[in-house]
Amino acid sequence: MISWWIILAIFMIFLIILYFASPLITPKALKLQSSHVLVTGGSSGIGKALAINVAKRGANITLLARNKSKLQEAKVEVEKHFLNKDSQSVICISVDISKDYEAVEKAVQQAEDKFGPVALLVNCAGTSMTGVFEEILPSEFKRMLDINYLGSVYVTRAVVPSMKKQQLGRIVFVSSQAGQLGLFGYTAYSASKFALRGLAEALQMELKPYHIRVTLAFPPDTDTPGYAEEQKSKPKETHLISEVAGLFSPHEVAKSIIEDSTHGKFFSYMGLDGYMLSCLTCGMSPVISMMDATQQVITSGIFRVISLFYLDYFDRIVQKCKLERENIKDDKKTS
């Protein structure tokens, strides 16, 4: 009996030591005041909310997006939130980040000529679509990869050389909870978001010696124009399954992404589901805090058990919807 207490005590001491050791290996937070932040997809949704967030923290901001008039509208809105109106500004560059690497490089060059090297890059431009696998057009699979994956590669590729020279920087890839697990209806979208994971892990290992930190964000469903558009074509199964996680506001999501990336965290997640998924899917991802590592070690077994219940629940939804469809078909045939 006593030996159990000793083991428990040793374990507690271990945790306490880890807790106090964690700041030692945690990078210094990046100051956004008087630095250059570049946001792709910055004219709406989470991207615009991110721009507003960093405007409040005193940064110069470059917004990249395709639609000129939307960019202009976003600029006006972002400028309202400046911490210091005299020293901050926003520039907008209209470019399709998924098409032509040269155009992207030119846009980044133009931004750096004005504001200096990018200190924080947020790859937020993305698009989503849902549908049953065999009903998704083959071209849609390519479009998802072009925008969600290659768009992030191109802009990051253009920004990294000057970051390396500065030996300073933060890069955010905005993935999704659908980039942590595959769900009904997300075959095209999930694959493009999973691709960012491989990119982010490998790139972090390359950039760590240069004090550049990569953050992979897994926002939950967020109340944006893109989300509203997606609702229109969502299969019933996808609808019922994603209801489980709830809907967040773009400003909450933006705040959490900026906090995590300035602090150099590799994962950025929100809510209890987000916490569980990130512990569960940590794999061999980089970690900057022993506190986080300890939590991952301790929780992964129990979270796996919980996940089995979720999977069972999702499978039942899919099965039920299949039966419903078949019944409707049968009714049509008999009538």
Ligand X SMILES: *[C@@H]1O[C@H](CO)[C@@H](O)[C@H](O)[C@H]1NC(C)=O
Binding site for ligand X (CB under 6 A): 34, 58, 60, 67, 69-70, 73, 87-89, 114-115
Least distance from ligand X to the Cβ atom of residue 54, Å = 10
Name the residue type at position 25.
I
Q: Is 271 helix (H, G, I), strand (E, B) or coil?
A: helix
Question: In the complex with ligand X, which residue's Cβ is closer, 54 or 158?
Answer: 54
Q: Which two tokens stand for residue 264?
A: 């150099």
Please, are residues 122 and 63 in contact by the beta-carbon 8 Å criterion? no
Least distance in angstroms from the C-beta of 44 to ligand X: 9
Angstrom distance (rounded) from CA 292 to CA 252: 22
Supply angle C-alpha 76, 36, 56, rounded to 5: 50
Tokens 């030591």 belong to which residue?
17
Task: Select 91 or 203, whichever has its Cβ closest to ligand X.
Answer: 91
Q: Output the six-digit token pair for 71.
A: 């960019």
Whole-number Å distance between alpha carbons of 170 and 172: 7
For residue 141, the minimal CB distance to ligand X (Å) is: 22
For 285, the 3-state DSSP assignment is coil
Please report which residue ranges of the chain form alpha helices under DSSP H.
2-25, 45-56, 68-79, 101-115, 138-144, 151-166, 187-207, 225-231, 236-242, 250-262, 271-280, 290-334
Least CB distance from residue 48 to ligand X, whole Å? 12
Name which of 127 and 256 has its Cβ closer to ligand X. Answer: 127
Supply the minimum distance, in Å, between the C-beta of residue 219 and ligand X: 23
At closest approach, how far in Å is the CB of 86 from ligand X? 9
Q: How far is CA 106 from CA 42, 87, 109, in A?
A: 18, 25, 5
Which of the residues are catalytic? 175, 189, 193
Residue closer to ligand X by CB (options 74, 277) is 74
For residue 72, the SS3 value is helix
The nearest distance, CB 59 to ligand X, in angstroms, is 6
Q: Which is nearer to ligand X, 55 or 240 (CB)?
A: 55
8 Å CB contact between 278 and 46: no
CA nearest to 270, candidates 291, 289, 248, 243 = 248
- Cα–Cα distance measured from residue 41 to residue 67, given in angstroms and rounded to the nearest whole number: 10
CA distance 147 to 160: 19
Phi, psi of 282 (to 5 degrees): -70, -30
